[in-house]
Structure 1
């Protein structure tokens, strides 16, 4: 495919789509795919990296996370779908009609949303824009939007205004996910995400952490909270036995979604 006539912005969007779909590619592969020079591809990738859409490494580019880079929401929606569905179904055991719950902007917790209809009436608060749109269509859901500064890479609202909106309410339970878990702690790459998640945990009576197995045994730049802050950790059946043994050793309550 040749995209010169579409201009840099159109080509960059198509490059971003391909990288999100495939996970990682080399600059040479992208140059051949789009009929442009490797130098042009590197300029496009520099701009996409500046926007936070992808992460460059020597000789290529990836949408996959690292200790300092969280994948954008488009990539995270596609990743580990079966594991997320399993975890979400298990998490619904801890939601009852009449409860007030909060969901963060994670794609793992978002997998709970289609299943909430059978548990209405519910009061649900979230800062996740796509989640708000889906929840608004479910009969019996009383919906609260946690507003703030909109971040397109996470498709969610963040910042001081969001934290203040969270602080103004109290909920029966909060369901969150994060990008890394190691030892006795949960981690995330971005301090602004950490600030919002911490406040969500503060205002909830029960706190549930939902994590697919690819995030276990990983660290990220910022420590979120000790795992003892959670009422329960829910993982999928791909969780390594050594990780589960470590959780037992630290007396971290967990359940495996089968």
Structure 2
């Protein structure tokens, strides 16, 4: 098998499974582990995967996006810590936008139920996470439901958001970089995120460190649009400081 073909098959496996392990892949392909490491190095150089200890996971792009089922199995403990820290920034907010994605979904389930709160979301999963709370009113944005993420998109969702003034938005992204801002693969998803950003008084980004330094197809925000960034300690202190110089407080948990 030529290196190009092997690398293509490794990338397909990474996208199907959410991650590939060096040892397992080497055994499956009948090659040395060092060969797989070189393949992963080349895929990382091309911006298709991100290396981790013992393996790699795919980087989302205009042509590829992980679905919700994969997101709920990757970096779960770190995402829970991020969500718990982000909830502490709620303050006196009475209306909150909660973005699509697994980390925002975890955050929604942690919102306090002992005070009146209105949650606006495009995510069916997030709406379901808080719908049974007595003191939380859930407003689900209308529009076309994306099967990959179970979130609504389109002109209806944006038109609904345009009629709101929201105290605080908790937003995620497929990638965040100091140079290119916050990005996502799909233009209609970017439209909803941008509108939520526009109508919210406060904005907080929450995301795993693997999102940092990554860019996708559609930009919807700049780093300086946010008052805070909440991530895990996988983002180095030095890199966190560089993001903080652009305006937001950066919290590593």
TM class by shorter-chain length?
0.7 to 0.9
Q: 2:183 aligns with which of 181, 187, 190?
A: 187
CA offsets 1:46-74 (integer angstroms, 9 cap, x no match): xxxxxxxxx9xxxxxx9833332221111
Q: Give ranges in structure 1 of 5+ residues lacking alignment.
A: 1-15, 30-54, 56-61
Corresponding position: 1:66 with 2:66: no
Question: What's the CA shift string for 1:58-115, capped at 9, x where partnerless?
Answer: xxxx983333222111111211111111111111112246611011112111111221
Contact 1:182 1:218 in 2 (8 A): yes
Match of 1:92 in 2: 87
SS at match of 1:111: helix
Distance (whole Å) between structure 2 residues aligned to residue 181 and residue 91 of structure 1: 17
- Is residue 146 from structure 1 mapped to residue 141 from structure 2 by the alignment? yes
CA RMSD of the aligned region, Å? 2.7
Aligned to 1:232: 228
1:22 CA drift (Å): 5.6
Q: Distance in 2 between matches of 1:176 and 1:135?
A: 17
2:192 equivalent to 1:196: yes
SS at structure 1 position matched to 2:192: helix
Task: Identify if the C-alpha distance between structure 1 residues 244 and 126 changes in structure 2 by more than 3 Å, giving closer, same or farther.
Answer: same
1:11-57 CA distance string (max 9 Å, x none) = xxxxx9x975563598xx6xxxxxxxxxxxxxxxxxxxxxxxxx9xx
Q: Secondary structure at the match of 1:94?
A: coil
Give the equivalent residue in structure 1 for 2:208.
212
TM-score by length of 2: 0.74
More displaced, 110-119 or 121-130?
A: 110-119
Q: For the residues of structure 2 that align with 1:76 and 1:200, how far apart are their CA atoms?
A: 22
CA–CA separation in structure 1 for the residues paired with 2:112 and 2:169: 17
Taking structure 1 as the reference length, what is the TM-score of the superposition?
Answer: 0.73
Counterpart Cα distance in 2 of 1:105 and 1:63 = 21
Give CA-to-partner distance per residue, 1:163-197, whole Å, 9 cap, x none: 11111111100101001111241111111111110
1: distance between equivalents of 2:249 and 2:104?
16
* Distance in 1 of aligned mates of 2:211 and 2:66: 12
Alignment length (residue pairs): 210
CA distance in 2: counterparts of 1:246 and 1:19, whole angstroms: 30
> Residue 161 of structure 2 corresponds to which residue in structure 1?
166
Displacement of 1:119? 4.7
Aligned to 1:137: 132
Asked if 1:247 corresponds to 2:243, the answer is yes
Deviation at 1:117, TM superposition (A): 3.6
Alpha carbons 1:98, 1:123 under 8 Å: kept:
no
Matched residue of 2:206: which SS? strand
